[in-house]
């Protein structure tokens, strides 16, 4: 039997684990610290995806058993992990006949200026078509 490679589907659970390990109050729940540390150790050792998924299920069960309805991959926990963004913001052409220009759009900065249409580009989410 060969080991399953790491699965990209586990990324969200890994981000949630990172946030959970940074939350001392959640780690005080019975059985949660042990399961979280076991998952962390599996990640560090390069365990296969099946073993890691089983450990994440065990951690999710421990959290829910202790009254945390979010489990491991709840919206508020997974979304707070540093560096995780659900979408990529870009600036796109503001005109009715858009060109293919796409620029990175940062949250706190205005969109770049469009010299063709004489206005700022509009911010949007990057789609698979772009």
14: how many CB neighbours lie within 10 A of its CB? 19
Taking alpha carbons only, the member of 44, 54, 49, 42 closest to residue 8 is 49
In this structure, the answer to whether residues 70 and 21 fall within a common structural domain is yes
In this structure, the answer to whether residues 30 and 63 fall within a common structural domain is yes
Does residue 53 form part of some domain?
yes
Residue 3 is predicted with a pLDDT of 44
In this structure, the answer to whether residues 30 and 65 fall within a common structural domain is yes
In this structure, the answer to whether residues 48 and 97 fall within a common structural domain is no
pTM for the model stands at 0.55
In this structure, the answer to whether residues 22 and 55 fall within a common structural domain is yes
Q: Which domain holds residue 112?
A: 89-125
Reported as a single tens digit per residue, the pLDDT across 53-77 is 999 999 999 998 988 888 888 765 6
Averaged confidence pLDDT in the chain: 78
In this structure, the answer to whether residues 60 and 111 fall within a common structural domain is no
Reported as a single tens digit per residue, the pLDDT across 76-107 is 565 445 555 556 788 888 877 667 788 888 87
Does residue 83 form part of some domain?
no
Does residue 1 form part of some domain?
no
Total residues found in the chain within this entry: 130
Q: How many domains does the chain have?
A: 2
In this structure, the answer to whether residues 54 and 73 fall within a common structural domain is yes
In this structure, the answer to whether residues 74 and 107 fall within a common structural domain is no
Does residue 84 form part of some domain?
no
In this structure, the answer to whether residues 60 and 109 fall within a common structural domain is no
DSSP element (H, E) containing 28: none
In this structure, the answer to whether residues 57 and 96 fall within a common structural domain is no
In this structure, the answer to whether residues 70 and 25 fall within a common structural domain is yes
In this structure, the answer to whether residues 72 and 101 fall within a common structural domain is no
User: Given CA atoms 88, 86, 38, 51 in this order, what sign does their dihedral have?
Assistant: negative
Residue 11 is predicted with a pLDDT of 75
Backbone angles phi, psi at 46, to 5 degrees: 80, 35
């Amino acid at each position: 039997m060969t080991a399953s490679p790491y699965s990209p589907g586990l990324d969200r659970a890994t981000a949630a684990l990172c946030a959970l390990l940074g939350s001392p109050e959640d780690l005080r729940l019975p059985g949660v610290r042990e399961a979280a540390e076991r998952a962390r150790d599996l990640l560090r050792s390069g365990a296969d995806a099946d073993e890691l998924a089983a450990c994440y299920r065990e951690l999710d069960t421990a959290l829910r058993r202790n009254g945390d309805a979010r489990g491991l991959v709840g919206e508020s926990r997974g979304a707070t992990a540093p560096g995780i963004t659900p979408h990529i913001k870009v600036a796109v052409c503001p005109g009715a006949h858009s060109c293919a220009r796409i620029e990175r759009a940062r949250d706190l900065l205005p969109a770049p200026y469009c010299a063709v249409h004489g206005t700022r580009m509009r911010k949007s989410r990057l789609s698979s078509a772009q």
